[in-house]
Amino acid sequence: DEIKDEMYSLMENLFPICRSITGNGVRETLKILQNSIPLSKFEVPTGTKVFDWTIPKEWNIRDAYVMDSSGKKIINFKDSNLHILNYSIPKDIEITFNELKKHLFSIPDQPNEIPYVTSYYNENWGFCLEHKKLLNMKDEMYRVVIDSTLENGSLTYGEFFIEGESKDEILISTYVCHPSMCNDNLSGIVVATALAKYLKKFKLKYSLRFLFIPETIGAITWICKNEKKMKNIKHGLVLTCIGDRGKFVYKKTRMGNAEIDNTVIKILEKSNTSFDIIDFYPWGSDERQFSSPGFNLPIGSLMRSIPNREITKEYHTSGDNLDFMSKESLQDSFEKYFLIIGELEKNFGKHDTMPNNPNKKSTNNHTHYYLNTNPKCEPQLGKYQLYEHF
């Protein structure tokens, strides 16, 4: 009971903060986590090359609103930080409704929810709002104010390492870049923090590494700066979307038959709950980077509701709030991760930890594969005009 209350109250503390892939929201989040675990904070400057990517300018925001002709703030960042297109550039303009509409985002079939939309690598501005509110807006002049900054700064991430008897590591990675949403991604942050806090009291064979990083760019940055440590990571899980009432879903590693796959499935089977298993796919969260062909680490992801709005309507909307969470689910998820780490500990040294390498599949003479000449993490599609902007 103590752990579930701790996780839930940490979530309540973190919920109001406006996070992004850079900026003070991440720093403030990590500072709050430091009350629970002595994690180290790292800053990587804007412009640093990390494989195919470059650390972007740092974004911070103080206020933003759209005001109608009567002087009423009809969309207000201070009501919900989801109202701002994340990474919006500063603005202070008068604008017609027709022009403004190009910068408004809503979900027609979920008229009561605010969507979460970002524009990290394509300078833009915009507001997200409930579709029912958009339908009520009049064709008149509006004032748009965005008090933000997009300047040289740094990308911030946190790391907490528990040294075990062995150099071999278990990696638990979670991301810290989403604004006010709970399942994606505060549930991952609070379960990882609780695991780190309680596991540091044990003497373990494996070393444990906990990463609190901005999704995608943070993972790529960590890997680029820590490439030498990658060989020590024997098993890993990306911890996200784990606090709702849905059943467990395990996304397997890229190889599909790694020790972590067998271990997670064994723990779920033993627990007598229903669960789904899905194969690896090359989108999703930071398993994309850790399992990219240049590293090919066995990283799975034990989740609950799948982060896809066609399956989970709350995903990336204001519906992913504290009411969507369940303390019992958080507790149950914590216990599953705890048992998985315990099982890996029990089997330490018993297995050959290197699973089959899917890159070395035997092929017949008639099949040819293109070789990825840039296999470390994913390429930045935007700079090749391969990323769809709105």
CA count, 13 A, side-chain hemisphere, 115: 19
Query: Could you tell me the two tokens for 129?
Result: 């709002």
Which residue among 6, 168, 184, 320 contacts Zn ion (CB under 5 A)? 184
**Interaction with Zn ion in 267-306: which residues (CB under 5 A)?**
none
Q: Give the shortest CB-116-to-Zn ion separation in angstroms.
A: 7
Question: 188-199 and 24-33 are packed helices; what angle lies between their axes, rounded to 10 degrees?
Answer: 30
Q: Which residue is nearest to Zn ion (CB)?
A: 184
Cα separation, 179 vs 145, in Å, equals 20
Q: Smallest gap, in angstroms, from Cβ of residue 215 to Zn ion?
A: 7
Cα atoms in the Cβ-side hemisphere of radius 13 Å centred on 107: 19
Minimum separation from the CB atom of position 133 to Zn ion (A): 23
Please state the closest distance from residue 352 (CB atom) to Zn ion, in A: 35
Three-class DSSP category at 211: strand
Q: In the complex with Zn ion, which residue's Cβ is closer, 155 or 170? A: 155
Helices (H), 97-246: 97-101, 131-135, 188-199, 217-225
Of 283 and 370, the one with the shorter C-beta distance to Zn ion is 283
Piece in contact with Zn ion (CB under 5 A), picked from 47-55, 101-109, 179-187, 364-372? 179-187
Instruction: Give the nearest distance from C-beta 1 to Zn ion in angstroms.
Output: 30
Nearer to Zn ion, 156 or 187 (CB): 187
Radius of gyration of the chain (CA): 22
Residues in contact with Zn ion, counted by CB under 5 A, come to a total of 1
Taking the complex as a whole, how short is the minimal distance between the CB of residue 111 and Zn ion, in angstroms? 22
State how far Cα 372 lies from the chain centre.
26
Interface with Zn ion by CB under 5 A: which range of 87-95, 180-188, 216-224, 319-327? 180-188
Helical residues (DSSP H) of the chain, grouped into ranges: 2-14, 24-33, 97-101, 131-135, 188-199, 217-225, 259-270, 287-290, 327-346
Instruction: Please give the residues from 8 up to 47 whose contact with Zn ion meets the rule CB under 5 A.
Output: none
Specify the residue, 164 or 284, whose C-beta has the smaller distance to Zn ion: 284
* Residues 213-252, interacting with Zn ion (CB under 5 A): none
Contacts with Zn ion, residue ranges (CB under 5 A): 184
